[in-house]
Structure 1
Amino acid sequence: MIGLSAIHRKALRDLWHMRGQAMAIALVIASGIAMLVMSRATLDSLQDTRTRLYQDYRFSDVWAQVRRAPESVAARVAELPGVNEVETRVIAGGKLALPGFDKPIEALLLSLPDQGEPQQNRLYLRAGRMLAPFAQGEVLVSDAFAEAHKLKPGDTLRATVYGRSQQFTVVGIAVSPEYLYQIKPGALFPDYERYAILWTHRRALGAAMNMEGAFNQITVKLAPGTS
């Protein structure tokens, strides 16, 4: 017991002589623990924010794309086990032309209901307004593309879809939970100057794609616990 006490006293004396190094080591350990706690708190906050975003803007659970299907198919999909909600839309690839920009621009165009908001994948409006009911020639533009080209509500652009060219007026700048990271399919890095996401009315896009009374993409919300 006496020998053990002597060892303890010697260890304390050695620690006192090395108090500078010991303090530095303690600070490094404390900093590491603090960084771990802050990183974990940041990760939890980001995950909670993502969950709330997907819930508030009704992010779909399932997407299915077809060449062309009549609207009656949606009712059959809605009857499948575990399906809570079904929504159809028209999507198309297109080419854009902007005044003063001579490089080719690719775009993904998605339809919105001719009046009201979509049930799923709702948009957050950063500037301007939503499409007016049944309006012709109006379009919403993704925020990253608008920022890259300094676009604002009231500007115009020309889109060519399925061989048909039409001039659109930008009425709003929007963000979608589907395209928070706006990258062209197959690309390694985003190119916000040459790739855009656009939203326009279902009637206009359906006419350009010969999709009257039909759709080429269906989105689904599932019941809780459904695989």
Structure 2
Amino acid sequence: MMSQSKLFNPGVRGGKVFVLPNYNQPMEQQREIMLKRIDYLFDIGEFKGWLTEQGEEIELKKFASFEVFGTFDHSMGTMLAVHFFLWGGAVQVFGTKHHHDKWLRDTETHVVKGCFAMSELGHGSNVRGVEIVTTYDSNTQEFVINTPCESAQKFWIGEAANHATHAIVFSPLNINGSNQGVHAFIAQIRDADGYLCQNVWIADCGRKIGLNGVDNGRIWFGNVYSRGFGM
């Protein structure tokens, strides 16, 4: 199927972007070529309707395409899963029409590059045990996200180290001193030019045994304000 596809034939479309992955390349080069592949797919409109349309046809296309992309390049499949199924899926499931209108189309066009900040250094994916704290400021009507200790850093977050502009942050919500349980918040971590936002710190998790095209990172928040982006 892939050998017959125009999309994966470098002599017809995509230049040399879709030559077979070289897993012996340095990590930086693997990340660079993976991002070029994804950017190319966005540029040709491959992901149109993935989040904003409904129905059997779009769902079948989505999963068939994802299976092919993931088979060709595991890192690319992982990055697309983070962007569409974790970030985009969280906005769809937890968000209201307001959130859908604001985020989903920009996610489809890659104006917004999303990541999923759930796991922490001290607790892995045990959501009930996360230590990050989000406090509602009634004076400004904003949510304030803070990493109180090292074990509360968001850890092993795909797309965070280099590319993501926004993150779904899982955090307990504190209102007037009362813990309201874990909620999902949208936090901007980079601007449109790729620079880190104020009071956001990110470190690279570095080279791994596999999937080195995926830029896993660690995130710390220092009282970052998120206006109206709780879900």
TM-score by length of 2: 0.28
TM-score by length of 1: 0.28
Structure ranking higher on relative contact order (CA contacts 8 Å, 6+ apart): 1
* The structure with more radius of gyration: 1
